[in-house]
């Protein structure tokens, strides 16, 4: 009886506390691909003598492949109206029948109705709030891709404002270059080592959005990164013709994956709707190179069809334009786009379509080509069958002769060659 009373007292004591929530999700993939795609940088005769430590561009899969991923979400409502949460995922199986667990996509957050703090794999502030128009040359804000980020957000009525920093030198986390400084073909620890900076925070990023009736406006800003905050890599060549290959033979590297910009950039934009049309206007100024872009866009729905047009005026490169047409019903979906610059040297076009046959079966097809696609026509055909309950089988065939799609062909990003893949969501 004493034990029962103690247990009852414990239940009463915790009855007013909010319960923590723990959520698990999972996915599994089993597939086969018959083509070892040749990608840019695969030719050893043209590759630089630099060891990156990982593949920045890689063939997705070839032969049989399989993986199991588990996602974890932990959340707790606190007494003061805040919610603390942690989310991450890990691969339980990846190409073998068991492996060491490796967590990824970690985000710690503390949120409320009036804002939040986010730490881990989250977008930069400028990236979060910026809305560009068309192919603007000078709105190249940094994009988070593996960096550790601290981002805050505050909400005042219809106005949202956010800031962010890159934390713990992760501006160079994807830049672990090591040079073959003695040109012996061995990237050993005796070589000139990684060049990293030790700053705790890098590149302030700001962004804001606001709603005023039928008008939406926003801004974004990022500060420049000093050369002292950039990583360097040594090259296996005598770049300064002094007869030596040493630390003087280096170059500044800050965005090997193209996602981090060291430039100071500012942008503003506005959007509205009238007479059924959506209209947007955006301006971006790159203060580092003192150049800018001004973009105008409009889209208009006509029944199941949405037509769009965008035009961008760039201060020192050719102006660009883009046409798009989308059609969508319960049975058929099709999207077409065409873009080029005023010099006619950057033509690109794409067409993606989907037909729902019924009973979970769908047929997909598409193509992508143009000057920017090195004049080769990439295309795919595929069929997918929804087995229900989160299970699906997809069979596809895709061609990419110029390797411009990097083994992610068309809007669905199919692999080159013939692929059969089972996926399961739990």
Count structural domains, the chain.
1
The answer to whether position 248 is within a domain reads yes
Per-residue pLDDT of the chain (426 residues; tens, 9 = 90+): 333 333 333 333 333 455 689 999 999 999 999 988 765 544 444 433 333 333 334 557 889 999 999 999 999 999 888 999 999 998 877 766 666 667 788 999 999 999 999 999 999 999 999 999 999 999 999 998 878 899 999 999 999 999 999 886 544 433 333 444 444 544 444 333 333 444 578 899 999 999 999 999 999 999 998 754 444 444 444 555 665 545 454 444 343 445 888 899 999 999 999 989 999 999 999 999 999 999 999 999 999 999 999 999 999 999 999 999 999 999 999 999 999 998 888 889 999 999 999 999 999 999 998 765 556 789 999 999 999 999 999 999 999 877 778 788 999 999 999 999 999 999
The answer to whether position 202 is within a domain reads yes
Judge whether 148 and 172 are in contact, CB under 8 Å: no
Range of the domain at 210: 114-172+198-274
The answer to whether position 64 is within a domain reads no
The answer to whether position 102 is within a domain reads no
The answer to whether position 311 is within a domain reads no
The answer to whether position 269 is within a domain reads yes
The answer to whether position 404 is within a domain reads no
The answer to whether position 190 is within a domain reads no
């Amino acid at each position: 009886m004493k034990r029962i009373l103690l247990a009852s007292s414990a239940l009463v004591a915790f009855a007013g506390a909010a319960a923590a929530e723990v959520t698990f999700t999972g996915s599994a993939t089993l597939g086969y691909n018959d083509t070892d795609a040749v990608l840019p940088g695969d030719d050893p005769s043209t590759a630089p003598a630099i060891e990156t430590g990982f593949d920045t561009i890689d063939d997705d899969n070839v032969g049989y492949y399989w993986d199991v991923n588990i996602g974890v979400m932990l959340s707790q409502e606190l007494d003061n109206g805040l919610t603390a949460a942690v989310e991450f995922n890990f691969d339980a199986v990846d190409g073998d029948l068991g492996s060491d667990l490796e967590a990824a996509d970690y985000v710690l957050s503390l949120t409320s109705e009036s804002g939040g703090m986010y730490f881990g794999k989250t977008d930069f502030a400028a990236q979060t709030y910026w809305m560009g128009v068309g192919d603007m040359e000078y709105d190249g804000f940094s994009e988070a891709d593996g960096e550790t980020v601290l981002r805050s957000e505050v909400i005042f009525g219809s106005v949202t404002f956010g800031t962010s920093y890159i934390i713990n030198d992760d501006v160079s986390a994807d830049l672990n270059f090591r040079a073959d400084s003695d040109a012996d073909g061995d990237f050993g620890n005796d070589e000139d080592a990684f060049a990293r900076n030790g700053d705790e925070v890098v590149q302030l990023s700001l962004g804001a959005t606001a709603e005023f009736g039928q008008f939406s406006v926003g801004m974004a800003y990022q500060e420049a990164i000093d050369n002292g905050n950039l990583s360097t890599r040594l090259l296996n060549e005598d770049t300064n013709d002094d007869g030596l290959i040493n630390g003087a033979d280096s170059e500044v590297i800050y965005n090997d994956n193209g996602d981090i910009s060291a430039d100071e950039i500012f942008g503003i934009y506005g959007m509205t709707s009238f007479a059924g049309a959506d209209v947007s206007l955006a301006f971006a100024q790159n203060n580092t190179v003192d150049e800018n872009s001004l973009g105008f866009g409009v889209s208009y729905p006509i029944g199941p069809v949405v037509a769009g047009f965008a035009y961008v005026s760039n201060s020192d490169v050719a102006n660009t334009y883009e046409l798009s047409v989308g059609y969508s019903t319960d049975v058929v979906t099709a999207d077409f786009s065409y873009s080029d610059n005023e010099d006619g040297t950057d033509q690109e076009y794409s067409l993606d379509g989907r037909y729902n046959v019924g009973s979970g079966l769908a047929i997909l097809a598409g193509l992508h080509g143009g000057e920017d696609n090195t004049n080769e026509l990439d295309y795919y055909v595929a069929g997918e069958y929804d087995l229900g309950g989160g299970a699906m089988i997809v069979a596809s065939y895709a061609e990419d002769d110029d390797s411009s799609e990097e083994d992610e062909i068309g809007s669905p990003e199919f692999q080159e060659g013939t692929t059969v893949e089972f996926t399961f969501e739990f």
